[in-house]
Every structure is written in structure tokens, then in C-alpha cells.
Structure 1
């Protein structure tokens, strides 16, 4: 029942009695409130201004209490922002500023502070089956290394930035793999796929204003599904055999071509040498003939005899027998020149026999034949 309803004994909430029509006594109400405060701090609640109880709360005590409350309030607003951190400040729920590293203070219950590490490199992994451009299914395992570039966007723009990163990664990866053939995804195309995924993912995150900066994307593994692993291994083996045979063919070509070029160069050099030899020999023969002509003009008889002996030497050097025509004789005799040369103990070859030696041998043979012819005639006369 309300205190002012009929039957309520006209008692006000401050404990005093009010008249029928008068307002409540404010002085009495304040007095009662002070007595309660004094009771909380150990003072007596029954004494009045002239009572015998403990004195009430003084003005200095109230000031001290207020100062203590202010100090405690201020202490709760002090915080430290490290070098690798940034503090996002919301004042009454509205973005105010981003605090840099250092000792900071914000009023509690008015400002809300969120500290974010902006230098820590974080890791997100993604794995799944995807369809390639040539309608094959591959398993792709990918890892994303990222950090927070804008703390305010990371805290305020997106409800869950890391979940947005995971969904954007999956979208970018499926887009790139879907435009690439299976062979390239499983072999040498991983580096290109990582670069394209990083570019596309960063565009997505910038559009979403997540405040995330992608550092590196690594395609850790690509493989076909288990159901077709054996067939894929056969294909890889065939490709390896193809590559091996191609390398062997290139090695063979690299060995044959330089060898053929070397042989061709050698033939060219030999031809040039032969050409130079023939030209030099011809020039030498021409010079020799000119000199011989000069000598012939000076002494024709001696020169003719010398030329005759040189010709005989060249002819006899290639023959093992010699024909001798004796003056006054009727028969032609064939003598083995090699035996005659061996009997005369000549140790040089046919090319090394001088005209003087040939002339001496010829004279000996002629003398022997003359003596035999004279002896034969004498026998006939007797």
C-alpha cells in the first residue's frame, strides 16, 4: 500500500510524519541520510546535533573519499601499448582514434579500448577438392601467412575478419585452379598459382576492408584423389620416360653436332692446306724452271746432261732392273740393279743415290761388258 493512500498513517518514506497538506521535510530527510552514511562508516545513528553519539562524517572526509574515487577511476584508465601493437578507441560506441605505442589513458566506462598486434605473422591453412579447367578433380593444400595492416578496419569494418579471410581464400583458390589444367596444377604450375591466388585474395580483402595484408601464400601440396592415384602415377611415369628420352636425344644431338662440325672444319682446313701446298709447289716449280732456263742459256750441254741424269735417276728409282746397250754388241742384257747396289754396299735408298754413283755404276757395267765381248771375239778367231 502506498504511503500516501488512505489508512497509510500519513507516514512519508523518510520516516517522518507529514501533515495533512504540507510537503515533506527536506532537512529531516537529509539528516536521516547522513545518519545512515555515518552508520556505514562506524558512526552512531541515533545522536542529533546535541546528542552524545560519535560525530558525523565531516566535509574533509567526504572530499578525501571523492578524491580516492577519482584516483581509482583514473587508475583503471591507464594502459600500455607495445611497439608491435595498436589500440583502437571507441568513445560511447563510436570510433574515436587509433593509439600508437606508448603509455596511454582513456576514461573507463566511456571509452572502450581494443589492443591489436599488427606485426605478428599469422597463419591460415586451407585444403579441399577442386575442379580444374579440364574437368579433373585435385586436392590442394594451401597456407596463407598474413598480418594486420589496419587495426581500425580489422576491429570495426568486419564482424569476423579471420572467417572472411578463410572464405575469401577458398574463393580465390577455386577461381585460379578452375582456370588451370590438372597437369599444370600437379607439376610446375604451383608457383604461378600461388602468385595469382595472392593477388586475387588481396583484392578481395581490400574490398571487404578487413585490414589484413597477405605476406606469402604457399601451395604445400597438390595431388589427385585416392581413387585415381594409381592411374595418375602411370601418367607421371610416362611423362618422366618422355622427358628422359628427350634429354637423351638432346645429349646425343649435342654430341653429334659438334663432332660433325669439327670434322667439317678439319676437312676445310685440310683442303686449304692442300691448296696452299699445291700453289706453293707450283710456284716453286715455276721458279725452279725459270732458274733452270737461265742456267740452260748459259751452258746448254751441261744442263741437258744434268737433266738427262735426273730423269734416269727418277725412272731407275722405281725399277729393280736396268737395260744396257753395249757398243758393238748384238744382245741387250737385263741386270738386277738392286743386287748390284747391294754388292757395292750402298746403304742408301733409291731416292738417296746421287748422279755420281749412278754414273760410276754404269761405267763399271759397261767396262765389264766390253771385256767380255773382247774375250768372246778372241775365242771366235782362234
Structure 2
């Protein structure tokens, strides 16, 4: 029945442990609560209560609480001692502060606090970005942004050799970048020299890291588009435009040279060929004249009179063919004859006036020479007959 219903049962108690009708009222006794808890724990660990209240538990109660604490500590230690290493990870174990082993993937166990564990991902590529103003070889200032991609190649060196390996990576990157930029001109950094510059930075940075034994391998260095500082950007743009104008003028000059030089070479070759032809012509003519003279000498020795007269006639024909007036004298200055070759005179006048008619033929000159030669021969024959 309810605790506050009427009745004669004097022993009924209320929920607070007091008796009806004048018993103790208030919250439950803490000693009683601790005693019940201790009884429950002793029942779990197989012990029986030997006393009355909480204070009467004596030595047995203290040992029970200590055992509980030890059990909790053991569970916590076991939870921390067991760990799992993923496929992409490795773990380095230090025992008493000294390297003990490198652990691969799987379920593993170590003994803290005797052992100390360092677990890192050794396959993931990490990235570090750097940007700063660099002084170039030609004493110009340029802003060079770059990104360094790296990964951990040796976890033992990464953990033990350097206190802060990634900070060392940043310092080494800045040193390598300044060294390479200081030995490169500004034009190469801003134009086609970025790839070569990135290669040199990566090689030098890797040598620094290997010297420090950081256990870091640099996989790639990417130098982005470099630019001049904002304070001098306008002047730098003027320099770029001037460089472009220079390149354009140079290309135009090269195009002009490519057109003029071959033409000049062709003209020079033509002149050389003409000179060679003239030389061959003169030499051949001289050789022909020499051969002709040699043959004439031979014939002259055979018949001097005939050859002398023939040479005279040929000479007169050659001379008279070049003049427009011929004076023929007879014997002892008599019967003088003035011969005017009209065809030569007409042809000469046409040539003088610059008419477009065809030049006059000189076929009359040989006929004139023949007639003169025949006339002279007849006169000689007559003089010989009269004698």
C-alpha cells in the first residue's frame, strides 16, 4: 500500500527512509548509497562484505576501489597500445627515445610510455607554395611564385634527423630559388626560361634535403608566371613593348636581307659568268688569229707576191667598208675618181637620226673592194703590156 495511506503498521517507512508520524525526513544517506555500490562491486569480483556501513568496510573496501582503478587504467593502456597502420602509411617506434623499428601496414602493438610512435602517410604527395621577390642576374627585381610537390621517402630520417623537416624544406626552397634566380636574367625568367629554372631549383633543393637527411623527396617544382613588382609594372610594360618593337624590326630586316642578298648573289654570279665568257672569247680569238698568222706566214713564204697583194686587198676592203667616201686615183694623178657608196651614206643617216628602220647592210663594201681590186689588176696588166 502507499506510504501515506492510513493504517496501524508503525513500521512502514516513507521513501526518504523515515518513519511515519515523526520519523527522519530528508534525502537518502550517502553512506548507505556507497555501501550498496561497494556490495555490488564486491559481488562482481567475488568478495563478500565483512562489516556494517561504508566506514566499516575497512581494508577490503579500499582494495576494491584500487582494483577498479587498475582495471580502468589497463583498458585505457590497451586501447592506446593497439594501433592500425594503413596501406599508405608507415610507423616508426622509439623505445626509450632510441629508434627501435619501422612498422608496415597492419594491426600492431607497442608499449607506451616506454615506446613512442610516429605514424605518417608516405605515399601521399604534399604541396608547399612559396612566393617572393627575387633579385636577378641583371639586377632586376621579379616576383616568382612556385609550388613544390614532395613526399616522405624515408620515415626514419623524417622523424629522427631533423626537428621540423617541413620547415627545413621551406628554408631550403627559398635558398635554392634565390640562388637560381640570382644567376638568371630577367628576360629568361619571364619568357622561355621558367622550365629550365624549375628544373635547376628542384635539383638544388633535393641536394639540400639529402644533405640534411630529411627523408623528403621532391617530385615536382612548378614555377608559375613571374611578373615584375606592382610598383614598376608600368615601366616594365614599356620595356616589353620596346623589346617587341625590336624583334619586329629585326624580323623585317632579316626579311629584307633574305630578299636582297640572293639577288645580289645572282647578279654577282651573272657578272662572273659574263667575264668568264669574255675571257674565253678573247683567248679563243687570239688563238685563232695566231693560228691564222702562222698559216699566212707559211703561204707567204711559198708565194710572197700573191700573199702581199692579197693582204693589201683584204686590208683595203676592211678599211673602205668603214667609210662613206672612197677616193680612187689613177696613174700619175690622172683620172681621179670619187666613189660615193649611197647605201652606206643612207644607212649612216638613218642611224644618226635614230629611225626605227633596220640597219643598212654592208654587202656593198665587199663588192666595192672586188671592183677596186679588179680595176687595179687590169691597170697593172696594161702597164706591164705597155712596157
- Say whether the fold is shared (TM-score over 0.5): yes
How far did 1:289 drift?
Answer: 0.8
Counterpart mapping for 1:1-382 below 5 A: 36=44, 81=87, 85=88, 87-90=90-93, 92=95, 94-98=98-102, 104=106, 106-107=108-109, 112=117, 114=119, 116-118=121-123, 120-132=124-136, 136-178=140-182, 182=186, 185-187=189-191, 189-191=193-195, 193-252=197-256, 256=260, 259-260=263-264, 262-325=266-329, 330-338=335-343, 349-350=361-362, 357-358=367-368
User: For structure 1, which runs of at least 5 residues remain unmatched after alignment?
Assistant: 1-14, 16-31, 40-44, 47-71, 367-382
Distance 1:302 1:337 in 2: 32
Distance 1:324 1:260 in 2: 56
User: For structure 2, which runs of at least 5 residues remain unmatched after alignment?
Assistant: 1-37, 50-77, 348-358, 377-387
Distance 2:109 2:201 in 1: 44
Check 1:290–1:341 CA distance in 2 against 1; reply closer, same or farther (3 A cut): farther
Per-residue displacement from partner, 1:278-316 (whole Å, max 9, x unpaired)?
222212111111111112222334333432332233223
Check 1:314–1:233 CA distance in 2 against 1; reply closer, same or farther (3 A cut): same
Distance 2:147 2:83 in 1: 39
Alignment TM-score, normalising by the size of structure 2: 0.58
Per-residue displacement from partner, 1:199-224 (whole Å, max 9, x unpaired)?
43223322432211223323212212
2:225 is paired with a residue whose SS is: strand
Aligned residues: 293
Cα RMSD after superposing both structures: 4.5
Tell me the residue number matched to 1:8: none
Distance 2:85 2:151 in 1: 23
Distance 1:95 1:358 in 2: 130
Contact 2:321/2:365, CA 8 A, preserved across alignment: no
Per-residue displacement from partner, 1:50-72 (whole Å, max 9, x unpaired)?
xxxxxxxxxxxxxxxxxxxxxx9
Check 1:117–1:140 CA distance in 2 against 1; reply closer, same or farther (3 A cut): same
Distance 2:125 2:288 in 1: 88
Tell me the residue number matched to 1:9: none
Alignment TM-score, normalising by the size of structure 1: 0.59
Contact 2:85/2:107, CA 8 A, preserved across alignment: yes
Contact 1:116/1:151, CA 8 A, preserved across alignment: no
